[in-house]
Amino acid sequence: MKNIFVFIRRYFNFLFFLVLQIVSLVLLVQYNDTHEAAFAGVSNEVTGHINEQYNKIQNYFHLKENNRLLLEENTRLKNMMGINFEGPDSTRIAVLDSLIRDTLGRQRKYLWLPAKVVSNTISQQYNYITLHRGTEQGIKKDMAVICSQGVVGTVIDVSENYSRVMSLLHRNSKVSSMLKKSRVAGTVEWDGKDPHYLTLKNIPKSTPVAKGDSVVTSNYSANFPSDIIVGTVVEVLKDPSSNFYIIRLRAATNFYSLEYVNLVENVQWAEQRRLEAVPVKNQ
Amino acid sequence: MSLLVKNIIRFILFILLQVYVLSQIPPLHQFITPYLYFLFILWLPFSISRFSLMLVAFFLGMTLDYFLNTPGLHAAPCVLIAYLRPFLINILISQEGAELNYAEPSIKSMGFAPYSLYVLVFTFLHHFYLVLIEWLHFGNFIYFLGKVTATTGVSLLLIFITEMLFFRKQRFRTNTA
């Protein structure tokens, strides 16, 4: 027994070194597995607050660009408004409102919320975005994040006032997408190299693909509404080892200057998941 | 200014610089990520005990990790260089008793060549271990080699500039004073 204490005293520094190493590696591995580290909530609040202070200054330098983007989006939305369309039949007026059910009896599926970006990285291999909106303002895990230019990412952690988004520029990010022309679905990933380019995988070689084709979110994606732009095809590579293409996309979103984004909640997803969790009968 | 206050200010400045300047720079290439924050550990005074040196390094790494959302990724290399620092300082110090006469490692207290070697070795070790952990998650061997070399090069350049800009005057301490 005495020898053990002597041993510990003698090699105290080395043992302490090992303990710290193990603690940091365990934290890292756990975090990458689950994205729910023990302190995620607390640290989110603290770092989020500091990021916000910094962001207040940074915002002034992007006001001009932001105005332009808002104007563009406004014009696009105004063009889609009901009053721009006139039909001979009065039963076909499009109605926009925030009710659960519209006048034609259709159920609401997607709910949009605005949020401000307070922190954003692009230079890491795992990039995250922090938004100043949390559980108290109606954010839930797995909500889709979209900006006026295109898809941004998915919410992975939420605290009371902030939420953390896994950006499309993340090694583990996968978004179900399809080619707009042929409606063939695949997965969009990021190879960790250039924040301007994404990779589209799992498109069979029988599909016609051309440079410049648009890639949009697919109708199988549960959290993203379909037909939101992800990017445009710049290069089509054939994977010799499989029957699929590897398609390089130019990302529609400019990740360098994100300021305001929209969060989209699929309010019917819980029901869909409940059905899909039931084991299949009668097979 | 007392040593403690000086180091607390340094800690905050290094973290802010790393998070809001160096990590915000658009990447020139996937291999290049500029790192400077670990210079804080290299600048800590000679007199600090090994236990507190490792504890401070761990705290520095975790603080940065919580800003960059990668818990543990930077803490592990920081603890490694903090553990090895006393060994290398013992080998490198040429003047008799320099660690008693000067407060902290610098060009003046250690001499230009030993100090450069000290910085070079720890910059390399830090990046080697950091990229090694990253590499175990994904990537190939060329990514590993390329990133270690390129990142070490950029960091050395930054450290050199820092040393030139913020020349630390070191007072020669005698027993009488």
Do A198 and A64 reside in the same domain of the chain?
yes
Distance from CA of B59 to the nearest CA of A (A): 10
| Phi and psi torsions of A199, nearest 5° | -120, 135
Q: Using the beta-carbon criterion (under 8 Å), do B66 and A121 form an inter-chain contact?
A: no
**List of chain A residues with pLDDT < 50:** 35, 37-38, 87-97
Q: Supply the pLDDT for residue B53.
A: 93
Task: Identify which of A27, A54, A122 has the shortest CB distance to residue B20.
Answer: A54
Task: Identify which of A43, A50, A121 has the shortest CB distance to residue B23.
Answer: A121
d(CA B113, CA B111): 6
Do A42 and A27 reside in the same domain of the chain?
no
* Beta carbons of A182 and A175 less than 8 angstroms apart: no
* Beta carbons of A57 and A63 less than 8 angstroms apart: no
Do A78 and A8 reside in the same domain of the chain?
no
**Residues A135-157: tens digit of each pLDDT:** 888 888 889 999 988 999 999 98
Closest alpha carbon to B45 in B112, B114, B96, B100: B100
Do A9 and A48 reside in the same domain of the chain?
no
**Residue B163 touches chain A, beta carbons under 8 Å:** no
| Phi and psi torsions of A234, nearest 5° | -115, -25
Query: With contacts defined as CB-CB under 8 Å, which chain B residues touch A13?
Result: 50-51, 54, 83
A105 domain residue, yes or no: no
Distance from CA of A276 to the nearest CA of B (A): 32
Residue of A nearest to B30 (CA): A193
Query: With contacts defined as CB-CB under 8 Å, which chain B residues touch A26?
Result: 72
Q: Using the beta-carbon criterion (under 8 Å), do B69 and A194 form an inter-chain contact?
A: no
Do A195 and A258 reside in the same domain of the chain?
yes
Residue B72's contacts (CB-CB under 8 Å, 6 or more residues apart) are A23, A24, A25, A26, A27, A28, A29, A31, B61, B62, B65
B89 domain residue, yes or no: yes
Question: Which range of residues forms the domain containing residue A26?
Answer: 2-34
List C-alpha distances in Å: B53 to A23, B36, B42, B80, B81. Answer: 17, 18, 10, 11, 10
* ipTM higher than the 0.85 cut: no
Distance from CA of A51 to the nearest CA of B (A): 9
Domain count across chain A: 2
Q: Supply the pLDDT for residue A98.
A: 54
Distance from CA of B146 to the nearest CA of A (A): 13
Do A8 and A63 reside in the same domain of the chain?
no
Do A193 and A60 reside in the same domain of the chain?
yes
* Beta carbons of A264 and A225 less than 8 angstroms apart: yes
Chunk chain B into consecutive blocks of 10 residues (it has 177) and report each block's average pLDDT, rounded to whole numbers: 87 91 76 88 90 93 87 91 91 70 81 89 93 78 86 92 84 62
Distance from CA of A32 to the nearest CA of B (A): 8
Do A152 and A197 reside in the same domain of the chain?
yes
Query: With contacts defined as CB-CB under 8 Å, which chain A residues touch B26?
Result: 122-123, 195, 256
Instruction: Label the pairing between strands A260-266 and A214-217.
Output: unpaired
* Beta carbons of A176 and A230 less than 8 angstroms apart: no
B90 domain residue, yes or no: yes
Do A41 and A71 reside in the same domain of the chain?
yes
Task: Identify which of A13, A39, A192 has the shortest CB distance to residue B50.
Answer: A13
* Beta carbons of A147 and A131 less than 8 angstroms apart: no
Q: Supply the pLDDT for residue B31.
A: 77
Residue A202's contacts (CB-CB under 8 Å, 6 or more residues apart) are A185, A186, A187, A244
- HEC profile for chain A? CHHHHHHHHHCHHHHHHHHHHHHHHHHHHHHHHHCCCCCHHHHHHHHHHHHHHHHHHHHHHHHHHHHHHHHHHHHHHHHCCHHHCCCCCHHHCCCCCCCCECCCCCECCEEEEEEEEEEECCCCCEEEEEECCCHHHCCCCCCEEECCCCEEEEEEEECCCCEEEEEEEECCCCEEEEECCCCCEEEEECCCCCCCEEEEEEEECCCCCCCCCEEEECCCCCCCCCCCEEEEEEEEEECCCCCEEEEEEEECCCHHHCCEEEEEEECCHHHHHHHHHCCCCCC
**Residue B51 touches chain A, beta carbons under 8 Å:** yes
B40 domain residue, yes or no: yes
Name the packing angle between helices B112-137 and B141-165 (round to 10°). 140
B86 domain residue, yes or no: yes
Q: Supply the pLDDT for residue A122.
A: 85
A106 domain residue, yes or no: no
Maximum pairwise Cα distance, chain A: 97
d(CA B116, CA B164): 13
Task: Identify which of A12, A17, A192 has the shortest CB distance to residue B79.
Answer: A17
Cα A279 to the center of its chain, rounded Å: 29
Domain count across chain B: 1
Residue B36's contacts (CB-CB under 8 Å, 6 or more residues apart) are B14, B17, B18, B22, B155, B158, B159, B162
**Residues B100-148: tens digit of each pLDDT:** 777 788 888 888 888 899 999 999 999 999 988 887 766 678 888 888 9
A177 domain residue, yes or no: yes
d(CA B28, CA B124): 20
d(CA A8, CA A20): 16
Do A14 and A56 reside in the same domain of the chain?
no
B37 domain residue, yes or no: yes
- Tally of CB atoms within 10 A around B161: 11
Interface test with chain B among A125, A172, A257, by most B beta carbons within 10 Å: A125
Q: Using the beta-carbon criterion (under 8 Å), do A124 and B68 form an inter-chain contact?
A: yes
A274 domain residue, yes or no: no
Task: Identify which of A123, A125, A193 has the shortest CB distance to residue B25.
Answer: A123
Question: Which range of residues forms the domain containing residue B153?
Answer: 3-24+33-165
pTM of the model: 0.68
In the 8-state DSSP scheme, what is residue B172? Answer: P
A142's tokens: 């797995």
Residue A265's contacts (CB-CB under 8 Å, 6 or more residues apart) are A110, A111, A113, A138, A140, A143, A144
CB < 8 Å from B in window 50-89 of A: 50-51, 54
Do A124 and A20 reside in the same domain of the chain?
no
Q: Using the beta-carbon criterion (under 8 Å), do B30 and A21 form an inter-chain contact?
A: no
B6's tokens: 């000086």
A278 domain residue, yes or no: no
B170 domain residue, yes or no: no
* Beta carbons of A135 and A212 less than 8 angstroms apart: no
Distance from CA of B12 to the nearest CA of A (A): 12
**Residue A16 touches chain B, beta carbons under 8 Å:** yes
d(CA A116, CA A148): 13
